[in-house]
Structure 1
Amino acid sequence: MRDISAETESLRSAAASGELRCSTSTIRQMKEGILLKDNLLGMARSAALLAAKNADRLIPDCHPAGLDALEIGFEEEVKNGAGILSIRASGKSIGRRGPETEVLTAVSIAALVLYDALRVMDGQLEIGRIRLLENPARAEQGGSPRCAILVCSDSTAAGKREDKSGKIISALLADAGAEVAAYKIVPDDKMLIRQQIAAWVEQDIAFVFTTGGTGLGPRDHTVDAVKEMLERDADGITEAMRHYGQQRTPMAMMSRAVAGSIGQTLVITLPGSSAGARESLRAVLPAVFHARKMLKGGGH
């Protein structure tokens, strides 16, 4: 099975549709109730619900998904001289994956139940066009936000240690569709950190991600440097990062990370360890990109 342990739990939705093509006579009889329409469609709906709830048992590589909502609908019509019974399923779940497989299974089984019930009387039956419908929430995520990465480490700046966390952040941002417009390594020095962040704010970089200096060590100055610059705090971001990290290691509670805005730039401090940087960023992507719209007065 695909590893989804890195995914965050959130409300996810999906919808699917399909068609059962038939004769115009079958559609007419359905509309007139001759085929005991409510009973037949009710049976198909019940079968679709049961199938969706058991999709992970039918499909070996499918992760279990706790369905929190599932709706099945039907619509009959005659189009271009052919009868079409449209089937639609939409579902919601709170978890690490969406109910895409469940709604596709629901549509498929509903179509098969109807096919089995009508095949003796209608030789024109044909199942087709079973597909996922576009997710509106996913479609809204557009654009390519400009980001900058600031690696704050004495040893890395001195060339004694290779930067790993900055490269991990860069790769994750690229995967999320962001543009890494700037990348720099500086010692964990408050003045140098503040100067570089101020320069990127002046350049209207939308997001600045720092890595390093979030712990309790004597040279961990990044958080203090950034905190003094912030005009507004965004504590919910760091709460999400620590909660996500705490589910994977108890050491996550040691992070002093902060997040907030300077002008129209959002600054987020990430841990310096590879695992900490990766997990913290995964906890907030891609939702954090919505902050730019809010900072520019666009609301939620």
Structure 2
Amino acid sequence: MASTVVGLFEQRSDAEAALNDLVNNGFSRSTIDLKTPSNDAGADFDALINELEEESVPKDDARLFAEGVRSGDTLEIARVDDDRATLAQEIMNQHGALDIHDAFAQRSSVLPAAEVGAAGIGAASLLGASAERVVAPKTGASSQDETVIPVIEEELAVGKRQIQRGGVRVFQRVEERPVNEQVTLHEEHVSVQRNPVDRPVTSADTAFQAETLEVTSIKEVPVVSKEARVVEEVIVGKTATDRIETVHDTVRRTEVEVEDLTNGATTRDRI
């Protein structure tokens, strides 16, 4: 949305100071116009009225602004974003934008009647505002002085997030432990015994022949082998459940009271 802010200044220097202040506050110079008296006052007067009407300024108000320019005042027209219109209005007022009611009332009281009639300015047709704000789009609606008071209300939004609430950590390690097992082992021993005798040789005796006799002995020794066997299983798992929880909190809301002071009566409406 766009707005048009209009201010009338007695001194051109005041209008230029307001223009510079607007630019310093981020307003675009290309959207600000200064209107001053021209040599061809009649043509400029009608053109200015048409231009102001195109900016949605009511016809009677546009005529008053044009009359001010024809009388020697400087008119400043700023086309701004709607959300910055109030700031532009305040800047113009700070630099002396005229209160049209007061300005033309004073002028009509000091000008001769003939001059007042020629200018077309009278106390009955005065415009009451310093810097006038006209809200666009250009629909022809009249300008109005209004204050918007927002009613703000909080809404509670409940979401979810995951947090770690517990768990288990499983460690697997290898440890050694001593074991004892008994085994029976067989063992042989060779013994040689010589006994003295005195008898005749018989046929059973081998006489005078070379011969080798070998006798061996054995013994058993333990042989160790290992076999890995599964003796237990550790199963780690988790189960999931859902539950409903009620969240208790507070929300805020702006309460606006309107007090009617008309005719001395006091009534209050809460919005």
TM-score for both structures, normalised by structure 2: 0.24
Between structure 1 and structure 2, the one with the greater Rg is 2
- Which protein has the bigger helix share? 1
Q: Which has the higher contact order (CA 8 A, sep 6+)?
A: 2
- Which protein has the bigger strand share? 1
TM-score for both structures, normalised by structure 1: 0.23
